[in-house]
Structure 1
Amino acid sequence: MGNRIMVSIECNAYNHEDFIAEALDSMLMQKTDFAYEILIHDDASTDRTADIIRSYEQQYPDIVKPIYQTENQYSQDIPFEVYNSERALGKYTAVCEGDDYWTDREKLQKQVDYMEAHSECSMCVHAAEKVSAVTKKRVATVRPSNKDKIFSVEEVIEGGGELFATNSIMYSREKIPEMPEFYLNATIGDYPIVILGALSGTVYYMDRNMAAYRVEVKGSWTDLHLNDISEKKKHLQDVANLLDEVNVYTNFKYDNVISFTKKRNSFYLLLKQLEIKQTLKKGYRQFYTKPEFFKRIFKRITI
């Protein structure tokens, strides 16, 4: 494949001075038979993140291609994808946030090989581990299947935003040339892009652990949004709004799974609030018999 840029790596960074070097090193260690570029977007960091990125830009000017914001874009609800969609040269986009990193040198090659051989594939994902930013130890594994498989639209919708690790995502820019309204309106993580991937072709999961996804990062999206009940309620309302938009976008083809998923999310929020009487009402009782209930109780209820 030679000098043609096959993959554009999309990396968003904000106050990641403790992590950004490891993220960039993990991208630069990739062994591929094609060229790739790192489109890094520093969202007006107030620490040394931009300085660290500049040092990599000087060392690897043909690969590391930064944008340095002087005013924070995230706080203005401007999705950073808008800065990369027009400048990206790759056939595929791989995602890795500035506080995460890859652990397998063959990650990009394996995903591209699969997608090149399967033209119907719009998105390829893989297993990853969750690593604590505090202890630096593995705390969990993101492994939605114990074998390679294609995930259906229904499974992706029901799986929610944490079904796959962000930094496992690679998608086809040909199959997803532009982002629809439901994606642009969303304020929540990866859920919209994975749903879009499933609607645009097949989503293929590789059961190979090739990345580390950091949790317990101070100031991260999860840290800011999911650490108290009122924020959780707002988050689930945002999820419900997204699913309603997806329902309209797909002409209600997936109405059953969307209705089920919204109700299940409400059930777990009620449990979190210890509103046990509410959970025993008609429509909610079904969730007590699902295998997921016992898994969540075992892990202490999470949403």
Structure 2
Amino acid sequence: MDFKTFKTVYEKNPVLEYVNKRAGKEPLATIKVVTYNHAKYISTCLDSLLKQKTNFDFEILIAEDESSDGTREICKKYAEKNPHRIRLLLNSRANNIPINGKPSGTFNSVYANFSAKGKYITTIEGDDYLMDEKSLQKRVEFLENNEQFVACFHNTKVIDQETSKEHHVFNYRRDRTIKAEDLLKVWIHTASLLYRHNLVNLFDEDMKNIVCGDFILRGKLAEFGAAKYIYDVKPAVYRKHNQGIFSPISLEAKTKLAIDGLQYLLNHYKTKKSNLEINKSASNLYLSYFVSHLIKDRKIKLNYLKKSFLYGKEANYSPCQIIKEFLYLKLYRL
């Protein structure tokens, strides 16, 4: 779906833009900030982005989803003070695309994606932030010098706002290549992920009920190549709190969302005739999700099992291979 069609179908009220005053050529990179009711955190986020030190031009594109807690007013002040760096999109809640009967950030995020001008793009939620002032420089530099990679990323520190407990997502001690077929298996937080903007179309009609946008992004990037983990960058910070989209929901609910995303990707791969290894990896992951997380509803589980056999067959898995995989995952709870 192109931008014009997206606007025609989904934009009920016009999105207003604080146009920045950058002169000259387009920015090399876009930092997309998606925010809704992040008044407690948004200043820390934006300050960390404005401190980025680069030898190239970049834009900070804020997509503000008509918050009710003062976030919009804070974003306006930042845009007014930094007109050469910040572009601010002021969305209306009338444009919201509900998923499973609940409001979502889909319109806000997709509209911003279409609006981004950079050759490279990275997305950060308004309640997260970067710790390293050279984060953007190092990631862009890597992709500029390594055309065979579609994306690169670094570590993330997860901080629980309720308990103050924290942990790092990765324990890698050096740079590491993540093969295309493994991109779905590795949880890469969006704040650390930089990718080539022109590779993927991040929205179509079949995605209207898909919540796991970062998962879909990795799955679509996998069609074009591998990603690189960059060790020598301080981690991004992901705040885990009860106001987040995913943190408050149950493990079973998260699993169902992931399975919905995998179903979408498997159908997408079939249409695009994606390579066998990626298709196998997605089929394998599809099976492991509902087995390992022990969905309670027996009818739902059986339905997923039947579909996993079908997807496995399309990925050239023999029935014997699928049964062995099922038993292995069930035994070890992987």
Task: State the TM-score, normalizing by the size of structure 2.
Answer: 0.74
- The CA deviation at 1:101 is 0.3
In structure 2, how many angstroms separate the alpha carbons of the residues matched to 1:289 and 1:112?
43
1:43/1:74 contact within 8 Å kept: no
Q: Which range is displaced more, 126-135 or 27-36?
A: 126-135
Task: State the TM-score, normalizing by the size of structure 1.
Answer: 0.81
In structure 1, how many angstroms separate the alpha carbons of the residues matched to 2:29 and 2:41?
22
In structure 1, how many angstroms separate the alpha carbons of the residues matched to 2:219 and 2:211?
14
Q: Please give the per-residue CA displacement for 1:38-79, whole angstroms capped at 9, x wherever unaligned.
A: 111111111110011111011101212111223152536543
User: Where in structure 2 are the equivalents of 1:1-303 lying within 5 Å?
Assistant: 5-71=27-93, 73-75=96-98, 78-135=106-163, 137-143=164-170, 145-159=172-186, 163-176=187-200, 178-179=201-202, 181=204, 184-185=207-208, 186-207=210-231, 208-215=233-240, 217-224=241-248, 226-227=249-250, 229=252, 231-232=253-254, 234-251=256-273, 253=276, 254-270=278-294, 273=296, 283-287=325-329, 293=334
Partner of 1:297: none
More strand by share: 1
1:182/1:246 contact within 8 Å kept: no
Partner of 2:314: none
In structure 2, how many angstroms separate the alpha carbons of the residues matched to 1:117 and 1:25?
28
Q: 1:239 and 1:39, CA in 2 relative to 1: closer, same or farther beyond 3 A?
A: same
Q: Secondary structure at the match of 1:190?
A: helix
In structure 2, how many angstroms separate the alpha carbons of the residues matched to 1:266 and 1:82?
28
Structure 2 gaps, min length 5: 1-23, 306-322
Q: 1:148 and 1:288, CA in 2 relative to 1: closer, same or farther beyond 3 A?
A: farther
- The CA deviation at 1:125 is 1.0
Q: 1:5 and 1:182, CA in 2 relative to 1: closer, same or farther beyond 3 A?
A: same
In structure 2, how many angstroms separate the alpha carbons of the residues matched to 1:3 and 1:187?
35
Q: Secondary structure at the match of 2:168?
A: strand
Q: 1:81 and 1:70, CA in 2 relative to 1: closer, same or farther beyond 3 A?
A: closer
Aligned partner letter, 2:292: Y
1:39/1:88 contact within 8 Å kept: yes
Q: 1:192 and 1:148, CA in 2 relative to 1: closer, same or farther beyond 3 A?
A: same
Q: Please give the per-residue CA displacement for 1:91-130, whole angstroms capped at 9, x wherever unaligned.
A: 1111111010000000000001111111222211111110
How many correspondences in the alignment? Answer: 279
Structure 1 gaps, min length 5: 294-303
Q: Which range is displaced more, 107-116 or 142-151?
A: 142-151
RMSD: 2.9
Q: 1:126 and 1:289, CA in 2 relative to 1: closer, same or farther beyond 3 A?
A: farther
Partner of 2:9: none
